[in-house]
Amino acid sequence: MAFELERPWALDDRVALRPEPFGALAYHFGTRRLSFLKSRKLLDIVRGLGEHASGREACTAAGVSDAELPAYARALETLAASGMIRERAAAS
Amino acid sequence: MSAVAAPVGRLVDHFESGLDAPICLTWELTYACNLACVHCLSSSGRRDPRELSTDECKAVIDELQRMQVFYVNVGGGEPTVRRDFWELLDYATAHDVGVKFSTNGSRITPEIAARLAASDYVDVQISVDGATAEVNDAVRGPGSYATAITAMERLADAGFSGFKVSVVVTRENLSQLDAFKAIADRYGAQLRLTRLRPSGRGADVWDELHPTATQQRELYEWLLARGEEVLTGDSFFHLAAYGEALPGLNLCGAGRVVCLIDPVGDVYACPFAIHEAFLAGNVRQDGGFARVWRESELFRELRGPQSGGACASCGFYDSCRGGCMAAKFFTGLPLDGPDPECVLGHGEPLLAARDACAAPRSPIDHSRRPPPQRACDEDPLTDFWRVVDGQH
């Protein structure tokens, strides 16, 4: 399934985040995969995903500019592909 | 492992200066082992009476949870011979500390396999060092191949997919890489290859068992072609100097992003460095593991700027970073020079010129039998020791 920035997303509940000076470590207890979130802004986006109506809104709320948006959209796409974040039902 | 987006400088630079907590760590739970592999990196065999108690282990787990260490690589010795092993496993996973444990497979009954298959938080690594009984048993002992294969069958039958088949690459098994891959595929497992280190009893066999230069190149090409399909635990970062880096962080994480807790609670810079030169402290000290990790002088030094020494002028220093500290130390080479298996061959003349008898040996040895004697071992008490031990 293709990643859609306009859909609602959430961090998988088996993923733990550990903030670090460079961003954060994200560990998925189910797949046992470790990812590095290479900026604090990306950490903020990922943390806020579940509370926003779309990936785009979560990015905006974290202070992502229009110019930065494509890079962060690609980061979210990578996280979605490895199951770190998943699409949630629009109503939730 | 994968890195995601938005460059803020190189991740490696952050890792080299250390993190507040390790990314993962190795925890050897006991020096007791029912096998006596010739290359055992921790010289295991007999239990140490000072090993951490169940409650002390639980206190370490509590601390790891607070530090958000997501998972530990548990080993030994053979960790499953500890009577409280399954209790500690349950305790860790109930406290958000995932466990990947290494085993020779001897305690993996069908019941245990079913239990392991049911847990998301537990991963299992079966050690095997030959794709045939002949090659494996020469290193790990008679019957150990059959034991490992039986454990793999049981895990697969129980529906545990993606467990690890862990191989230390040697001169004898390098020609079996495809066969190892086939074994892992047969049981729905993932192959993991790691480097033979001259640590522990490995020092006794390293000269004969470490891959030749030609084999090393073959290994590199093989790994490169398989990408992330085959795991290496970043073990072969010294091969990055061949050109393209292998998947992984490609740095020595010792004291920076990884470390070792040994069975008696001693904290070392890495699992391959059980020697006082790499001892940072003990988890029983005030402040526990967190304090050792954050304040040990040794770890601070390791996180500081490193001099490339003799390697600084080499054009490939940025790729291999001088290689593996433990490999240099236990072969008697200077720490600020090339890795003994430097792919440009800079280690070979140093190895040839060194006094092998002067290479540092760790006095921490729990072998059930005295280690094989080297030609230069002239300790008059060696034979005396055999007599008083009464095992031979």
pLDDT tens, position by position, B255-291: 999 999 999 999 999 999 999 999 999 999 999 999 9
Nearest chain B residue to A29, by CA: B121
Q: Check CB contact under 8 Å for B70 and A30.
A: no
Could you give the CA distance from residue B339 to residue B336 in angstroms, rounded to a whole number? 9
What per-residue confidence (pLDDT) applies to B373? Answer: 56
Tell the residue number behind the tokens 């060696």, with chain if given.
Answer: B382
Considering chain A, what percentage of its residues have pLDDT values greater than 70?
96
| CA B221 – CA B225 distance, rounded (Å) | 6
Model confidence at B17: pLDDT above 90: no
Give mean pLDDT, residues B228-247: 91
Q: How far apart are CA B46 and CA B123, in angstroms?
A: 26
Q: What is the mean pLDDT of residues B375-382?
A: 50
Chain B residue numbers touching A68 (CB-CB < 8 A): 6
- Which of A32, A36, A72 has its CB closest to that of B3? A36
Predicted confidence at residue B2, as pLDDT, reads 55
Chain A positions contacting chain B at CB under 8 Å are: 14, 16, 18, 20-23, 25, 27, 29-30, 32-39, 41-42, 68, 71-72, 74-75, 78-79, 82
| pLDDT given for residue B250 in this prediction | 80
CB contact under 8 A, A42 and B100: no
* Count of positions (residues) in chain B: 392
Q: Provide the H-helix boundaries in chain B.
A: 11-16, 54-66, 85-94, 110-117, 133-140, 144-157, 177-186, 202-209, 213-226, 288-295, 297-303, 317-320, 325-331, 347-353, 382-389
Nearest to B23 among A34, A78, A82 (CB): A34
Q: Which residue of B14, B19, B98 is in closest CB contact with A32?
A: B98
User: At A37, phi and psi to the nearest 5?
Assistant: -90, 115
Instruction: Quote the minimal CA–CA distance from B6 to chain A in Å.
Output: 6
User: What's the gap in Å between the CA of B306 and the closest CA on chain A?
Assistant: 21
* Of residues A33, A34, A75, nearest to B5 (C-beta): A75
Check CB contact under 8 Å for B1 and A74.
no
Cα angle vertex A35, ends A30, A39, to 5°?
140
State the amino acid at position B253 in one-letter form: G
Partnered with residue B191 across adjacent β-strands are B165
Are B23 and B253 within 8 A, CB to CB? Answer: yes
A16:B96 CB<8 A: yes
State chain B's mean pLDDT as an integer: 91
Q: What is the Cα–Cα distance from B219 to B59, expressed in whole angstroms?
A: 41
Provide, as residue numbers in chain A, all residues whose Cβ is less than 8 Å from the Cβ of B23.
Answer: 25, 34
Over 70: is that where the pLDDT of B240 sits? yes
Task: Please compute the mean of the pLDDT values over residues B3-20 and round it to a whole number.
Answer: 68
Q: Does residue B376 register a pLDDT over 60?
A: no
pLDDT greater than 70 at residue A92: no
Tokens of B277: 């030169």
Asked whether the beta carbons of B116 and B159 are under 8 A apart, the reply is no
Q: Give helix then strand counts, H and E, for chain A.
A: 3, 5
Q: Residue B3 has what pLDDT?
A: 54
Chain A residues closer than 8 Å to B95 by CB:
none
**Which among B4, B20, B70 has the least Cβ separation from residue A36?**
B4
First vs last C-alpha separation in chain A: 20
* Out of A23, A27, A82, closest to residue B70 by CB: A27
Distant-in-sequence, close-in-space partners of A28: CB < 8 Å, separation ≥ 6: A12, A14, A15, A34, A35, A82, A83, A84
Distance of CA B191 to the CA centre of its chain: 15
Give B376 or B369, the one with higher predicted confidence.
B369
Diameter of chain B measured on Cα atoms: 65
Closest CA to B74 of B136, B135, B116: B116
Collapsing DSSP to helix, strand or coil, B107 comes out as coil
The pTM score is 0.90
User: Angle of helix B85-94 relative to helix B54-66, nearest 10 degrees?
Assistant: 20
Reported as a single tens digit per residue, the pLDDT across A29-65 is: 888 888 999 899 999 999 999 999 999 999 999 999 9
B329: three-class secondary structure by DSSP: helix
* Whether pLDDT at B203 is above 70: yes
Work out whether the CA dihedral B111, B115, B118, B124 comes out positive or negative: negative
Structure-block tokens of residue B263: 């069975």
Minimal Cα–Cα distance from B18 to chain A, Å? 10
Q: What is the mean pLDDT of residues B14-22?
A: 85
First-to-final CA distance of chain B: 47
CB contact under 8 A, A33 and B1: yes
